[in-house]
């Protein structure tokens, strides 16, 4: 399959980025080192180019109706300028994708989906659209760039570029505003790092100028470009799921800990089956664990009991730069899911002791 390219690829190469295939795109995985980039975001401010993400516009009188049908969360609770985290359940008990829903107005919404699932999500949502009129769907993914400016100094770094008071923006809200001299830019107080910050949606033709403006405004705060390597360690320290690792088409969203965005106050795709699963009780759960023994858990390593019997597998794992220990997530039978439960990670032929902990690994 031919790789897609983000518009600022040349800029990333000039900044020394190592470019690797990811989710069908050639993406910057790191510029310096994963550790330095991770610490930059935790302690100051960094900028990620995540323009590989997908964006769909749904507009019209039936837009909310379709969103309510395909999304497990209750989008009727949204208001203009509010963002909601949700997922698209499939009809087999798994998850098509997780996503963000932006209410631009009562008649217009933006859905932000994972890069690897753009075509799949588009086709799925269209397949569920049985409204004959009152709905228009527009895939703006190829024309949209997305920059995530993350870290405790993000608001200060970006403030010179907009009149919106960034420090006053509530978590999971957004403004459509002038930014870096361009009109109608979406500035969103969201993120995937747990370090605070903003996501900036711009048209491709504005992307280079906006990137350069952010880098210049952030200079006094030590802003650095950050790659996907640090993005992964940052999200894992927060216990955030990564689609394809911790949740997918075959995994129950309730087992994945997504019950908090599963609203049975309205019907949605496969809601009846999920409600029955909740009523019957879950057989396994996604848990976070920290290694007590030295070592690094990796995806697909076996999780075992004290006798070495396989009870699950690691879905995401790394060496936490903040905690200086191995951390991971994985599915285990519910009897092993309580914080304090003992697990063992099989690394080659060794069993490394681990303990289930309450997420997030790193508390803000």
Pair 78, 84: CB distance under 8 Å: yes
Dist. CA 116–CA 231, nearest whole Å: 16
Angle at 61 between CA 183 and CA 268, to 5 degrees: 110
Residue among 109, 224, 104 nearest 174 (CA): 104
CB 97 within 8 A of CB 84: no
Kind of pairing between the strands at 174-179 and 182-188: antiparallel
Q: Which residues contact 12 (CB under 8 A, 6 or more apart)?
A: 6, 19, 28, 31, 49, 225
Residue 55 marked as a ligand binder: no
Take residue 334 and report the two structure tokens written for it.
């519910």
**Both ends of the chain: CA-CA distance in Å?**
41
Q: What is the DSSP letter of 251?
A: S
Binding residues for substrate: 199
Binding residues: 199
């Amino acid at each position: 399959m031919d790789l897609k390219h983000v518009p600022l690829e040349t800029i990333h190469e000039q900044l020394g980025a190592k470019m690797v295939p990811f989710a069908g795109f050639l993406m910057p995985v790191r510029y310096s080192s994963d550790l330095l980039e991770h610490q930059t975001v935790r302690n100051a401010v960094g900028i990620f180019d995540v323009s590989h993400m997908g964006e769909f516009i749904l507009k019209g009188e039936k837009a909310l109706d379709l969103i309510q049908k395909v999304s497990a969360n209750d989008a009727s609770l949204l208001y203009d300028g509010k963002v909601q985290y949700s997922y698209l359940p499939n009809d087999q008990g798994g998850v098509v994708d997780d996503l963000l829903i932006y209410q631009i107005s009562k008649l217009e919404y933006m859905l932000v989906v994972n890069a690897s699932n753009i075509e799949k999500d588009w086709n799925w949502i269209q397949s569920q659209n049985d409204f004959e009129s009152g709905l228009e769907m527009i895939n703006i993914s190829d024309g949209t760039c997305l920059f995530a400016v993350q870290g405790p100094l993000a608001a200060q770094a970006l403030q010179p570029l907009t009149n919106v008071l960034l420090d006053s923006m509530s978590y999971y809200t957004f403004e459509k505003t002038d930014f870096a001299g361009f009109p109608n830019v979406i500035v969103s107080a969201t993120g995937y790092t747990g370090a605070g910050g903003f996501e900036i949606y711009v048209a491709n033709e504005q992307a280079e100028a906006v990137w350069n403006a952010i880098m210049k405004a952030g200079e006094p705060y030590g802003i650095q470009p950050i790659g996907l390597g640090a993005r992964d360690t940052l999200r894992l320290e927060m216990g955030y799921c990564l689609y394809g690792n911790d949740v997918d088409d075959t995994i129950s969203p309730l087992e994945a800990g997504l019950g908090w965005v599963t609203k049975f106050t309205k019907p949605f795709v496969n809601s009846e089956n999920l409600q029955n699963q909740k009523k019957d009780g879950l057989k396994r759960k996604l848990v976070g664990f920290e290694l007590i023994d030295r070592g690094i858990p990796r995806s697909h390593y076996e999780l075992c009991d004290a006798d070495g019997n396989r009870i699950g597998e690691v879905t995401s794992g790394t060496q936490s730069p903040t905690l200086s220990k191995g951390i991971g997530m994985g599915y285990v039978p519910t009897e092993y899911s309580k914080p304090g439960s003992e697990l063992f990670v099989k690394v080659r032929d060794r069993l490394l002791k681990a303990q289930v902990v309450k997420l997030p690994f790193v508390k803000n």
